[in-house]
């Protein structure tokens, strides 16, 4: 027998099975009015019920949900000037595509050039003073070294004079003894005495030269220290002047507004000759707005009940309303990991490559997210379910009679339901005519149309 056959009602020829005959019988039998209502509402005695049956089907169930989404630029920035000035020129307008680093606008700052010239002059002066200080330090070091060498020579002279004086002293004392013994003449004694006195004088002179050389060396070393301090001061002046020059040059470079990345100009706010206030002031003036659109961000809000199923890597497709024949597939890139308190939704985001720039930032899209895939699930049409007292069941046909079978369901999209427990693939499930059925009711299955 065809499991999907449609059943047709067949009336028996026995006239007593009709509701009217049953009423006549009840007039002769004491029954309650409740029983009367039951008999009149159900099928007549001996009447077969017409039903339609099918068998559960195995299929892969893909659980999805559809949400509105919005395409946004991967990056977007409103560009301001770092310095104040007059807009000298602006080379772009809305819709223009620009490259990273491209000059978009240029400011004129009349007072900037004199300031740069002044700081450059101060820098050159500081460099000259540093050069002079280094030369003076080199001279002081050379002089200190010369005095040091002079001191070493004087010290050698002292040692030589000390030896000479000691020798002359020995000779002199020996001559004193000889003089007392009248072994030498007075002239010889006087010569020895004179040589001794001369040696002592030479020693004193050499010692004086050493002291002078030491003093000169100390003085030269002090001059070296002064020269080195002057070098430090000059180096600080050079650094300060260099830093100020670089600062002004940087400010001058800020007069040119450049694109931070490749993108499209989506807004222009100023015209040539307009006074531009720097971006750090309370009355800052925007120049242009730039959007990076070769890559976009798709953002959509996930309802709380579906949050556990959405994570990085979850596949989806979307279709822009303005491009109905341009479906795009992708995967979720990141999620907010927290729900918005007002809407109880979680923000999900995906990166969309848009090299041809067909998709536009701000487009409304219809997003279909694949939450889960259940392979080889046992399914029935939702019309087969009977819900009574919180219990879900279906009617099954066995041996020509109907029996109620409790079931447990999983996925339910309103058309197809997943049966997780209570049925097998061989079951013949009623999908039409359940209203007239009771347990054990006789049914007939006709050939499907």
Q: Which CATH number does the domain housing residue 54 bear?
A: 2.40.420.20
- The model's pTM: 0.58
Q: Which CATH number does the domain housing residue 213 bear?
A: 1.10.287.620
What's the pLDDT at 446?
Answer: 53
Question: Are 218 and 229 found together in one domain?
Answer: yes
The reply to whether 264 falls in a domain is: no
What's the pLDDT at 25?
Answer: 33
Question: Are 125 and 249 found together in one domain?
Answer: yes
Model pLDDT for residues 329-382, shown as the tens digit of each residue: 999 999 999 999 999 999 999 999 998 889 999 999 999 998 877 888 888 988
Question: Are 40 and 171 found together in one domain?
Answer: no
The reply to whether 2 falls in a domain is: no
Question: Are 187 and 124 found together in one domain?
Answer: yes
The reply to whether 84 falls in a domain is: no
Among 332, 355, 373, residue at a domain's last position? 373
What's the pLDDT at 148?
Answer: 77
DSSP structural state of residue 435: G
Contact 307, 339 (CB under 8 A): yes
Q: Which of 380, 374, 375, 430 is nearest to 401 (CA)?
A: 430
Question: Are 240 and 161 found together in one domain?
Answer: yes
Question: Are 244 and 152 found together in one domain?
Answer: yes
The reply to whether 198 falls in a domain is: yes
Q: Which CATH number does the domain housing residue 307 bear?
A: 2.40.30.170
Domain count, the chain: 3
Question: Are 125 and 242 found together in one domain?
Answer: yes
What's the pLDDT at 23?
Answer: 33
Neighbours of 202 (CB within 10 A): 18
Among 253, 268, 302, residue at a domain's last position? 253
330 membership: H or E segment, kind and range: strand 328-331
Question: Are 346 and 399 found together in one domain?
Answer: no
CA distance 398 to 440: 9
Contact 40, 336 (CB under 8 A): no
Question: Are 51 and 159 found together in one domain?
Answer: no
Instruction: Indicate the SS3 state at residue 8.
Output: coil
Question: Are 369 and 422 found together in one domain?
Answer: no
CA distance 92 to 154: 82
The reply to whether 263 falls in a domain is: no
* DSSP string computed for 241-293: HHHHHHHHHHHHHTTEEE-SSSEEEEEE---TT-EE--TTSTT--EEEEEEEE
Q: What residues make up the domain containing 402? A: 15-61+375-444
* DSSP string computed for 112-141: HHHHHHHHHHHHHHHHHHHHHHHHHHHHHH
The reply to whether 80 falls in a domain is: no
Contact 263, 55 (CB under 8 A): no
Residue stretches of the chain with pLDDT short of 50: 1-42, 44-45, 447-449
What's the pLDDT at 43?
Answer: 52
The reply to whether 309 falls in a domain is: yes
Question: Are 136 and 249 found together in one domain?
Answer: yes
Question: Are 166 and 230 found together in one domain?
Answer: yes
- Which residues are CB-neighbours of 342 under 8 A, at least 6 positions away? none
The reply to whether 77 falls in a domain is: no
CA distance 100 to 294: 13
Among 253, 278, 310, residue at a domain's last position? 253
- Which residues are CB-neighbours of 106 under 8 A, at least 6 positions away? 87, 88, 89, 90, 255, 256, 257
């Amino acid at each position: 027998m065809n499991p999907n056959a449609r059943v047709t009602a067949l009336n028996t020829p026995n006239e007593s099975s009709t509701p009217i005959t049953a009423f006549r019988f009840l007039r002769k039998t004491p029954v309650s009015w409740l029983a009367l209502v039951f008999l009149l509402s159900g099928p007549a005695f001996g009447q077969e019920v017409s039903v339609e049956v099918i068998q559960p089907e195995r299929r892969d169930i893909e659980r999805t949900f559809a949400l509105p989404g919005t395409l946004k630029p991967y990056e977007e920035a409103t560009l301001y000037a770092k310095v104040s000035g007059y807009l000298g020129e602006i080379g772009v307008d809305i819709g223009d595509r620009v490259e990273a680093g491209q000059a978009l606008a240029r400011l004129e700052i009349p007072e900037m050039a004199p300031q740069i010239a002044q700081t450059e002059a101060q820098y050159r002066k500081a460099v000259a003073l540093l050069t002079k200080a280094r030369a003076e330090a080199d001279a002081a070091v050379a002089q200190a070294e010369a005095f040091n060498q002079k001191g070493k020579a004087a010290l050698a002279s002292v040692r030589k004079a000390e030896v000479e004086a000691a020798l002359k002293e020995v000779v002199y004392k020996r001559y004193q003894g000889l003089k007392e013994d009248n072994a030498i003449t007075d002239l010889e004694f006087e010569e020895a005495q004179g040589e001794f006195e001369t040696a002592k004088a030479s020693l004193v002179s050499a010692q004086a030269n050493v002291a002078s050389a030491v003093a000169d060396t100390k003085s030269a070393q002090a001059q070296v220290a002064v020269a080195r301090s002057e070098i430090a001061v000059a180096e600080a002046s050079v650094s300060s002047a260099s830093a100020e020059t670089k600062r002004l040059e940087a400010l001058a470079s800020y007069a040119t507004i450049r694109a931070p990345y490749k993108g499209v100009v989506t807004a222009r706010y100023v015209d040539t000759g307009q006074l531009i206030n720097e971006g750090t002031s309370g009355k800052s003036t925007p120049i242009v707005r730039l959007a990076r659109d070769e890559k976009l961000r798709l953002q959509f809000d996930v309802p709380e009940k579906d949050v556990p199923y959405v994570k990085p890597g979850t596949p989806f497709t979307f279709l822009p309303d303005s491009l109905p024949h341009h479906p795009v597939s992708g995967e979720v890139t990141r999620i907010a990991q927290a729900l918005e308190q007002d809407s109880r939704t979680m923000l999900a985001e995906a990166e969309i490559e848009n090299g041809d720039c067909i998709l536009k930032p701000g487009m409304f899209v219809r997003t279909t997210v694949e939450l889960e895939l259940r392979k080889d699930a046992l399914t029935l049409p939702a019309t087969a379910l009977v819900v009574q007292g919180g219990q879900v069941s279906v009617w099954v046909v066995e041996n020509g009679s109907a029996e109620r079978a409790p079931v447990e369901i999983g996925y339910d999209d309103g058309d197809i339901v997943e049966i997780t427990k209570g049925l097998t693939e061989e079951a013949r499930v009623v999908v039409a005519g359940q209203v007239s059925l009771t347990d054990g009711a006789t049914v007939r299955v006709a050939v499907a149309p």
